[in-house]
């Protein structure tokens, strides 16, 4: 009786998107940590108006 074992590894096709997502997440967290709360609120508010969602 023989058995086969498959190993999971990050190949070249999965490594680049994973690293990109991690870098993007780190950048977003870092930037939002240093921005004033009013600027974040205004940006979210403008996006809601631009996409047609009511916010008031």
| pLDDT tens digits, 10-27 | 566 889 999 999 999 999
**pLDDT for position 27:** 94
Contact 55, 48 (CB under 8 A): yes
Reported as a single tens digit per residue, the pLDDT across 23-55 is 999 999 998 888 888 988 888 888 888 998 877
- Give the tokens for residue 16: 């680049």
- Residues 27, 39, 50: CA angle, nearest 5 degrees: 95
**pTM exceeding the 0.75 threshold for the entire prediction:** no
**pLDDT for position 25:** 95
Length of the chain: 56
């Amino acid at each position: 009786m023989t058995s086969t074992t498959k190993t999971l590894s990050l190949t070249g096709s999965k490594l680049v998107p994973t690293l990109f997502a991690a870098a993007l997440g780190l950048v977003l967290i870092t930037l939002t940590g240093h921005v004033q709360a009013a600027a974040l609120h205004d940006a979210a508010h403008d996006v809601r108006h631009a996409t047609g969602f009511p916010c008031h």
